[in-house]
């Protein structure tokens, strides 16, 4: 495997995903909490960072423990750290370099540049630059403004690159990462979905034995894939609970329950819509709404779990980004990202937690799901928040408002599917605004609700851009919504990116 040491760059997870795409296993660890270096580790990648190596207290570590012993690749900050620590000079660039650049010099004899062409486009994002390399170190690529775009230390497999090969704007970046991981580190490309599935099922069998597991399903890809794996390992000893909280999409409860049964899962469907509506009655504050939904879910789930005798484990669909210890941008201390999937586990249940997907990224989960032959309708599904439509209805929740929003959302999502736009979008949905506006229908003046449509492109939901959906499409959907959904006379499209907006409105 490859060890990726994180200095807090927004791109660190992308490095890991590029390595995983090569069917090579890798892990991310914070630079100040390094795991034991076992013989499984074939190479080390040092990530970028929002810090400058010139800052007081800049993230630092003992690189002698790797240098010369394992292949070592520094990316951006990682390359500057290498250069500075071994006698080179790093200084702020005259201008902050951000954006595309071309490699107008490449050392074609270097293994790192196999199948990387002269003039190749790369992505730069740095404020500092390497002014001088330690003695004897060689420049192996340059751009017109950055002489040391990458370097190599003679007679050892230590490399530094100033640009970001992990970002897709670095057009041949994938080849460069493959060259490092496969050619230079010698990793074998055998970490496939099938291998993962076999190994995970064997591990689960060993870990769970004859124990019973209970698991809450959400209809989303993570919990569905996790449940399918556990089911393959222990069969009927896995009992799944799928709760209708009355805040799901139109027909979703019936459709998803049906798919689960087709997958052979032992699943109990619980219609608890009224309990959720009662808990939400009169609540308008977004956090109060979230809390009411979270608490009600725990109550409902706990009621069901108590009916299952002798259950010892709670299955969870937690994925790798939820458990990566990420380096805080505001300081070198390591912080652990809040673990939202486990947050809801009531203390008194005293169950042990089993999380078969906690080493996978979302795209890996999808691949495993496809290899397990889970239907595309589940595997390719957009993310959907736990509190469901409640955080897309601004203000208080009533069954009538839920029904209105379900109809609007259905027209929008079905339209995206019909026009082959669904897979182009990371997440989409509609928001019911607490606003009325004047309209005219036939000869009548109307005074009705406004809905907003939102469609975003994202990698992990942490940042997002609004999607430039075709005007014709938006026009068609707007017409259909206003014509078909009673009580709505105006549709707007949300063109805010995250940050500073968020994806959800509440
Ligand atoms: P925001 O609105 O924070 O959303 O930009 C980022 C991603 O998280 C989802 N989201 C939630 N998921 N419980 C969840 O399970 C929540 O309370 C929640 N709030 C937001 C949101 O749908 C988006 O994918």
Domain 398-493 has CATH 3.40.630.30: no
Taking the centre of ligand 1 as the mean of its atom positions, its distance from the CA of residue 301, in whole angstroms, is 21
Q: Tell me whether residue 382 is one of the annotated catalytic residues.
A: no
Q: Tell me whether residue 76 is one of the annotated catalytic residues.
A: yes
Binding residue positions for ATP: 218-224
Please choose, from the candidates 159, 46, 44, the residue with its C-alpha nearest in 3D space to the C-alpha of residue 113. 159
Residue 241 corresponds to which tokens in the numbers above? Answer: 């609970």
Q: Which of 218, 296, 385 to mutate to test the pocket of ligand 1 (most atoms within 8 A of CB)?
A: 385
Q: Which of 344, 430, 504 to mutate to test the pocket of ligand 1 (most atoms within 8 A of CB)?
A: 504
Nearest atom within ligand 1 for CA of residue 462: 6
CA distance 188 to 19: 12
Write out the CATH class of domain 2-184. Answer: alpha beta
**Cross-strand bridge partners of residue 498:** 464
Domain 193-379 has CATH 3.30.2130.10: no
ipTM exceeding 0.85, yes/no: yes
Catalytic residue among 26, 51, 97, 166: 166
461 close to ligand 1 (CB < 6 Angstrom)? yes
Query: What values do phi and psi take at 220, rounded to 5?
Result: -85, 170
- Res 341: pLDDT: 41
427 close to ligand 1 (CB < 6 Angstrom)? yes
Taking the centre of ligand 1 as the mean of its atom positions, its distance from the CA of residue 118, in whole angstroms, is 43
pLDDT, tens digit (0-9, with 9 covering 90-100), for 239-279: 999 999 999 999 999 999 999 999 999 999 999 999 999 99
Q: Rounded to an integer, what is the distance from CA 39 to the centroid of its chain?
A: 29
DSSP annotation of 402: H
Please give the model's pTM, rounded to 2 decimal places: 0.85
Catalytic residue among 26, 51, 126, 164: 164
504 close to ligand 1 (CB < 6 Angstrom)? yes
385 close to ligand 1 (CB < 6 Angstrom)? yes
- Res 327: pLDDT: 62
Q: Which residues of the chain have pLDDT under 50?
A: 329-343
pLDDT, tens digit (0-9, with 9 covering 90-100), for 458-497: 987 888 999 999 999 999 999 999 999 999 999 999 999 9
Taking the centre of ligand 1 as the mean of its atom positions, its distance from the CA of residue 504, in whole angstroms, is 6
User: What would the DSSP string read from start to end of 261-311?
Assistant: HHTT--EEEEE-HHHHHHHHTT--SHHHHHHHHHHHHHHHHHHHHHHSTTE
- Res 322: pLDDT: 84
Contact 394, 472 (CB under 8 A): no
Peptide bond into 499 cis (omega under 30): yes
The residues near 55 (Cβ < 8 Å, ≥ 6 apart) are none
Would 2-184 and 193-379 be classified into the same CATH topology? yes
Q: Tell me whether residue 164 is one of the annotated catalytic residues.
A: yes
Taking the centre of ligand 1 as the mean of its atom positions, its distance from the CA of residue 144, in whole angstroms, is 42
Cα torsion through 250, 255, 257, 260, rounded to 10 = -140
502 close to ligand 1 (CB < 6 Angstrom)? yes
* CA angle centred on 50, ends 503 and 123, rounded to 5°: 80
294 close to ligand 1 (CB < 6 Angstrom)? no
Domain borders along the chain are: 2-184, 193-379, 398-493
- Res 70: pLDDT: 97
- Res 328: pLDDT: 56
User: What would the DSSP string read from start to end of 140-203?
Assistant: EEE-SS-S-SEEEETTTTEEEESS-TTSTTSTTHHHHHHIIIIIIT---S---HHHHHHHHHHH
- Res 346: pLDDT: 59
Catalytic residue among 76, 185, 187, 240: 76
């Amino acid at each position: 495997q490859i060890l990726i040491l994180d200095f807090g760059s927004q791109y660190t997870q992308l490095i890991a995903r590029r390595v995983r795409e090569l069917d090579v296993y890798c892990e991310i660890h914070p630079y100040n909490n390094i795991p034991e270096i076992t013989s499984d580790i074939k190479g080390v990648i040092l990530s970028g960072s929002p810090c400058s190596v010139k800052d007081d207290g800049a993230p630092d570590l003992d690189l002698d423990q790797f240098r010369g012993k394992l292949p070592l690749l520094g990316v951006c900050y990682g390359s500057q750290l290498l250069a500075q620590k071994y006698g080179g000079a790093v200084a702020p660039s005259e201008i902050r370099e951000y954006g595309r650049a071309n490699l107008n010099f490449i050392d074609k004899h270097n293994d790192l540049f196999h199948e990387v062409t002269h003039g190749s486009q790369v992505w730069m994002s740095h404020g500092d630059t390497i002014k001088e390399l330690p003695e004897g170190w060689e420049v192996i690529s340059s751009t017109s403004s950055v002489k040391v775009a990458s370097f190599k230390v003679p007679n050892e497999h230590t490399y530094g690159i100033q640009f970001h090969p992990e970002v897709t704007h670095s057009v041949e970046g994938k080849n460069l990462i493959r060259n490092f991981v496969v050619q230079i580190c010698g990793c074998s490309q055998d970490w496939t979905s099938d291998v993962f599935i076999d190994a995970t099922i064997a591990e689960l069998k060993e870990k769970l034995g004859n124990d019973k597991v209970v698991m809450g399903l959400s209809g989303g890809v993570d919990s569905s894939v996790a449940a399918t794996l556990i089911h393959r390992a222990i069969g009927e000893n896995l009992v799944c609970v799928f709760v209708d909280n009355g805040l799901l999409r139109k027909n979703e409860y019936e459709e998803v329950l049906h798919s689960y049964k087709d997958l052979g899962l032992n699943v109990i469907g619980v219609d608890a819509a009224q309990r959720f509506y009662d808990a939400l009655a009169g609540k308008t504050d977004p956090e109060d709404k979230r809390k009411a939904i979270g608490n009600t879910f725990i109550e409902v789930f706990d009621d069901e779990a108590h009916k299952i005798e002798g259950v010892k484990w709670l299955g969870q669909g937690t994925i790798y980004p939820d458990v990566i210890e990420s380096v805080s941008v505001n300081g070198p201390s390591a912080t652990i990202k809040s673990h939202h999937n486990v947050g809801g586990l009531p203390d008194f249940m005293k169950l042990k937690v089993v999380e078969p997907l906690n080493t996978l990224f979302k795209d890996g989960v999808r691949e495993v799901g496809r290899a397990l032959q889970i239907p595309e309708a589940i595997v390719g599904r957009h993310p959907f928040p736990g509190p469901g439509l409640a955080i897309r209805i601004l203000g208080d929740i009533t069954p009538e408002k839920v029904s209105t929003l379900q109809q609007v959302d259905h027209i929008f999502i079905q339209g995206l599917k019909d026009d082959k736009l669904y897979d182009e979008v990371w997440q989409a949905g509609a928001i019911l605004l607490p606003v009325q506006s004047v309209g005219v229908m036939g000869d009548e003046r109307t005074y009705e609700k406004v809905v907003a449509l939102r469609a975003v492109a994202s990698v992990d939901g942490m940042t997002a851009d609004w999607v430039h959906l075709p005007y014709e499409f938006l026009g068609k959907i707007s017409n259909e919504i206003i014509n078909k959904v009673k009580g709505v006379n105006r549709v707007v499209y949300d063109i805010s990116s995250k940050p500073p907006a968020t994806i959800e409105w509440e």
